[in-house]
Amino acid sequence: MITLGVETSCDETAVALVRDGREVLASVVASQIERHQPFGGVVPEIAAREHVTAIVPALEEALAASGVDASEVGLVAVTDRPGLQAALLAGVAAAHAVGLALDVPVMGVNHVEAHLVAPFLAEARDPEWPLVSLVVSGGHTHLFHSESDTSHLLLGATLDDAAGEAFDKVAKVLGLGYPGGPAIERAAATGDDAAIPFKRPYLNPQSLDFSFSGLKTAVLYRCLGQDANGRPGTELLPGLEVEDVAASFQRTVVDVLDRKLQRAVDRTGVSRVAVGGGVACNGPLRERLAGTAAARGWELKLAPREFCTDNAAMIAARGAQLWRVQGGEVSPPAVQARASWKRV
């Protein structure tokens, strides 16, 4: 069966066609980054308006690139939560229109759970369960004990900023632009990652939660200093090596994600590990986790880079997976800004 996926939860308008939940026939991602760059982050109202204009061209482009005739599509899958409410509505409305036009069902998909499918896109076989799975993105830092396609138990999550959000905010302080992750990674490549020993926010020794806002504040004061009232300055301190700050910050985040995954594996006894989300594009993170996996005998699945950041291939794949496990039953889209999971 061919699934058409639609993703509009944040600032990417994406459409994809995926065969049998695995084979990506086309994946179009229309980024709105340039529209949001002047504001240093995503503006929800602009995002929603952009989706409305970008969605039809993205649909046309994806169908043309896939070589699939629209009549071959058997299911439409669309992100319905979590995300920016107005942005989600634009995608869900478009998905309903496509479903109506093609006379096929429309399935609502949880964006975070779709990030968990990305490590298995293009794999020859289905994932083996259970898994320890980590989603690290601009909006989410979620660590799960995944028992099956449909049972993700939350082991830990961020108490404040998501990992990608920390990359974005630190890049803004350093004047590196938006999105921050790729900019920090580039700057860090020529920096010394041991130059500044930022405190690692591991929280208490058992915790599988994350906290990146203290690290972000530490970077802020390190870069801008403090005025007589204890407020951060407005200019980077003279002589500050931006590359060293970027590398030291990135190393701190990598250390934390690596340590928390090790704790999760020790806690659950599950040594199959899957990682997805925009931050999983990060080269030093990928290298570190590959090293840990080799040393500890984990089976590690990292999402292919092109499917780490937001895309509709993972939405289509997740929709097809749900369709299969629910025996052909459809969960219609129910737009929700937030999503929650059972905690263990």
Question: In terms of CB distance, is 132 or 183 closer to ligand KG4?
Answer: 183
Closest approach, Cβ 91 to ligand KG4, in A, equals 14
Question: In terms of CB distance, is 2 or 303 closer to ligand KG4?
Answer: 303
Binder among 80, 149, 161, 168 for ligand KG4 (CB under 6 A): 168
Contact region for ligand KG4 (CB under 6 A) — 136-144, 204-212, 229-237, 256-264?
A: 136-144
Structure tokens at 100: 């109506």
Question: In terms of CB distance, is 137 or 321 closer to Zn ion?
Answer: 137
- What is the CA 110 to chain-centroid distance, rounded? 12
114 binds, among Zn ion, ligand KG4, none (CB under 5 to 8 A by kind): none
Q: Count of residues binding ligand KG4 (CB under 6 A)? A: 20
- Find where tokens 């590398």 sit: 247
Closest approach, Cβ 33 to ligand KG4, in A, equals 10
In DSSP terms, 52 is beta-bridged to none
Per-residue DSSP letters for 78-91?
Answer: EEEESS-HHHHHHH
Structure tokens at 170: 């630190």
Distance, in Å, from the CA atom of 279 to the CA atom of 141, rounded to the nearest integer, reads 10
Applying the rule CB under 6 A, the residues between 174 and 203 that interact with ligand KG4 are: 179-182, 185
Asked if 277 touches ligand KG4 (CB under 6 A), the answer is: yes
Radius of gyration of the chain from its Cα atoms, rounded to whole angstroms: 20
Distance, in Å, from the CA atom of 254 to the CA atom of 63, rounded to the nearest integer, reads 38
182 binds, among Zn ion, ligand KG4, none (CB under 5 to 8 A by kind): ligand KG4
Asked if 67 and 52 count as a contact pair (C-beta separation under 8 A), the reply is no
- What is the CA 197 to chain-centroid distance, rounded? 27
Q: In the complex, which residues of this chain contact ligand KG4 (CB under 6 A)?
A: 10, 137-139, 164-165, 167-168, 179-182, 185, 277-279, 281-282, 309-310
